[in-house]
Structure 1
């Protein structure tokens, strides 16, 4: 029905109706063109060209639709991957921030421990230096006392030697022996 309406419209719009002389003659070019056109259209319809063109267009539309579906799927997959990578990047940045924070805390703790160790070392060195100073001072005092005792003994010997006679010396020796004897018993 569609084809009949189409042929009628083509025939009615034809300039063949405006030609002069007998229309149904092979000498009329309009008639020959009309016959040729109708044969061409009939041949196209007989070979089912419109159906084949429709099938080709349907296949093309299906191909385009599948390409669009594939493109949508790829786009969704790309968006999923992008979101995943953005999450991973944020996690890595957070982890890096935690590592830096932890490193700073460890560095501060190490610095505090080093300060405490340094204070302990300084205190031990000060204590050792004070002990050395006290020991040197005690040694110097002992040396001065020993020297003073030696000088006093030498002076006493000289004084006693000048003032003492042999009888006084013997008397002192006897008293010392008796005192030693009393202390031993």
Structure 2
């Protein structure tokens, strides 16, 4: 499957509040390859969407009534990231660009900072809930500890990236 076609679709401004099937349909429409298996394309699209959910660039919402999952772009969504990955060649074909080392470090740093902020919010919420529902202390503490540990890992990653970015600027 071709990530550049997916990237071309996902950056469109009118693509928001969409389903994986809608992106699959757009993908098949752009590719115009009758040999493509729609089920495989749907799986590929779903995997790509999950990557964006993990980055915090998309929110995944499933309706209670119909069970339909839709994706919504968050304020962290960076269309410029995808535009750097894909450009159009002189012949109109899409070409994938390699991200520079510095761009990769910057993107990862943004992702980890976003995850850390989310984790800090979760920690605050667990503490607040523990105060409201002291009888649920054990269950809340287990989740609290897991989030705190993950936050420590993220702090280590952020520290490493900051060091790499600093040393990259010095060279």
TM-score normalized with structure 1 length: 0.21
Which is richer in helix?
Answer: 1
Which structure would you say has the larger Rg? 1
Q: Which has the higher contact order (CA 8 A, sep 6+)?
A: 2
TM-score normalized with structure 2 length: 0.23
